[in-house]
Amino acid sequence: MKKNKQLFYKTTIISLLFALYSCSTMSSSIEVSANIAKKPELNLMPFEEIVITDFLQKKEKPDFDINHEIKDYFAQEMRIKTKKRVKLEQISAEDEKNFKEKEFWVSLSDKEKKGIILSGIYEYKSETRKALIKDKKKFEDPFSYEDRFARRSMYSLILDLYFIDSQTGEVLFQRKFSETKTYENPNQIPAFAFYDLIFRIKEKLFRDIFAEPQPQQRYLILK
């Protein structure tokens, strides 16, 4: 009887130790959300002011003054973010090649102040598309569907942005942004769609030049 009890205890202890060992060697993971910052791609600290010029228009002309809207939007956002003086100028590149020509920007700039120029090229497009929608059939089987076509309006904003040193004409940062959004309303007002799209671009731009943290998913390995 005593031997049986000892054998039982030994077996139980060995089983427990084996279970603990298995738990310690097995690994699992959990998904977490973290704000990840990166090194800023542009240093605005040395500059006294930000000069926003007219933007070069590409292809079709929208129904409203989009150049004016782009300038005003970035002027307000830059003032809030940098606390620097922001100046609007009615000058622009005459051709896409001008953005790479240092002499062109130096000749247009104020030699007394160290400024950074924000300029670029824009394209704003809109189109109406037909989308295939599945609707439940009325007065029939509630689990059956029928196909119908619905009109959708789609807007795209392409913005090629340049940050240029006003004293040297050197391009310090350049990136081309492209955003598209589809609306159920086929008569969506172009100006409203524009602000949806430029907000997306501003968020991406500020993450680049100000190293704003970006929410990202990461996995933690648990052992």
Would you give per-residue pLDDT tens digits along the chain (223 residues)? 444 445 444 555 555 555 545 554 445 666 656 666 668 889 999 999 999 999 999 876 667 889 999 999 999 999 999 999 999 999 888 888 999 899 999 988 777 789 999 999 999 988 876 666 655 555 455 554 444 667 788 899 999 999 999 999 999 999 999 999 988 877 777 888 999 999 999 999 999 998 866 666 655 565 5
Q: Helix (H, G, I), strand (E, B), or coil: what is residue 203?
A: helix
User: Where on the phi/psi map is residue 211: left (φ > 0), alpha (ψ -120 to 50), or beta?
Assistant: left
Q: Helix (H, G, I), strand (E, B), or coil: what is residue 158?
A: strand
Q: What sign results for the dihedral spanned by CA atoms 80, 52, 121, 176?
A: negative
Q: Which domains does the chain have, with CATH numbers?
A: 32-126+155-222 (3.40.50)
Question: What is the reported pTM?
Answer: 0.71
Q: How many CB atoms lie within 10 A of CB 204?
A: 13
